[in-house]
Amino acid sequence: MLTRRHPLRLLAAVAVASAFLPAVPAVAQSFPVKPIKFVVPFGPGSGTDTSARYFGKKLQELTGQSVVVENRPGANGFIAVKQVLAAPADGYTVFIGSNSTLAVNVALFKQLPYDPTTEFAPLTMMMRAPAMLVVPGKSPVKDLRGLIADAQKRPGQVNFGAGSAGYQLMGELLNDAAQIKTVHVPFKGAGETVTALAGGVVDYAFAEVTAVQELTKSGLLHALAVASDKRVANAPDVPTVSEAGLPGFEAYTWVGAMVGSKTPAPVTARLAELFTQISKMDETQEFYARIGATPMTGGPEQMRQFQQKEIALWKRIVTQAKVPQQ
């Protein structure tokens, strides 16, 4: 009887212990079991949208679950942020944010209606791309020195378009570096900005290489310079801003994925693992190289550290360039 009871007692003990184990890790192991939504704070045509659609496709291939990309542009990203934070914190709504929504807004707004460092949990960085300074194809301005000279002759009359807070501050940074005064014209996103620029509605703009490369090839836009430390492979004839006349000037956009901070930690970790796996794929390296961007492979902790450094950087730029807070 003793020999037979010991296995029974052991099974009973295991059953009792299992009843008290947390259920979340098991949920995380099977995650996802239904479609996932990516919310993008900009319209189609932006680098953020391009990244979201690429990662969505790869995530679908890895998990077998469909991924829907929803563009919610406008209000400096507030509309998209509100939607993500109002959704159930279960990992099925992912915010594909940018330097504007996740860092620059902190510096530019006195009372930001959300906190990107406490209300969001980072998954991973996705990509970084240098900003390109572009003018309409028919513009008489053919290089950076010509743009600066024009702005000096007509202070307060030359304008620049910006589809997000990040591009606005890039324009203000150029004003500060070149000692010129130009006027900011806001748009809802990169698509609207580029369309307005091609139509001659604004005089110039900073834009993602990904958003303007085809239009520069067609002649609808003309690239004056790229704001990176070296020329980009898909536009080798475009000089850096340093080469064009403003040494040391660099400005980048970046994209990263986050979920609401109340999402269970095991689910967040599982998503971070999947996103990081995608970012390290050879195919991802090739995809971003084709569009003049660089993949970023850091996980949650690296992304949080990067985000905090970016917030500090843009706060310093707002102060240095004396940009009025909104």
Provide the token pair at 229: 């430390």
* Verdict on whether the full-model pTM lies above 0.85: no
Is 122:94 a contact under the CB 8 Å cutoff?
no
Retrieve residue 90's tokens: 């279960």
Pairing of strands 183-186, 159-162: parallel
Omega within 30 of 0 (cis) for the link into 32? yes
3-state secondary structure 135-175: EECCCCCCCHHHHHHHHHHCCCCCEEEECCHHHHHHHHHHH
Find out whether 49 and 43 touch, Cβ atoms under 8 Å.
Answer: yes
CATH 3.40.50.1820 fits 130-244, yes or no: no
Going by C-beta distance under 8 Å and a sequence separation of 6 or more, which residues neighbour residue 285? 295
C-alpha angle 217/42/271, rounded to 5°? Answer: 110
CA distance 9 to 296: 52
Comparing C-alpha atoms, which of 114, 256, 160 is closest to residue 169? 160
Superfamily of domain 35-128+253-320: Bordetella uptake gene, domain 1 (3.40.190.150)
**In DSSP terms, which residues pair with 205 in a beta bridge?**
134, 161
Q: Given this model, what pLDDT does residue 150 score? A: 97
Q: What is the pLDDT along the chain (326 residues), one digit of tens a residue?
A: 444 455 555 445 444 444 444 444 555 668 999 999 999 999 887 889 999 999 999 999 999 999 999 999 988 899 999 999 999 999 999 999 999 999 999 999 999 999 999 999 999 999 999 999 999 999 999 999 999 999 999 999 999 999 888 899 999 999 999 999 999 999 988 889 999 999 999 999 999 887 888 899 999 999 999 999 999 888 899 999 999 999 999 999 999 999 999 999 999 999 999 999 999 999 999 999 888 888 988 899 999 999 999 999 899 889 987 888 88
Which residue is associated with the tokens 């959704």? Answer: 87
Whole-number Cα distances in Å, 255 to 50, 172, 210, 293, 296: 10, 21, 13, 11, 9
H or E stretch covering 218: helix 209-218
Residues 6+ apart with CB under 8 A from 153: none
* CB-based contacts of 92, cutoff 8 Å, min separation 6: 32, 34, 35, 36, 37
Give CA–CA dist 41/80, Å, rounded.
5
**Amino acid identity, position 97:** G
Query: In the chain, where are the structural domains located?
Result: 35-128+253-320, 130-244
Coil vs helix vs strand at 239: coil
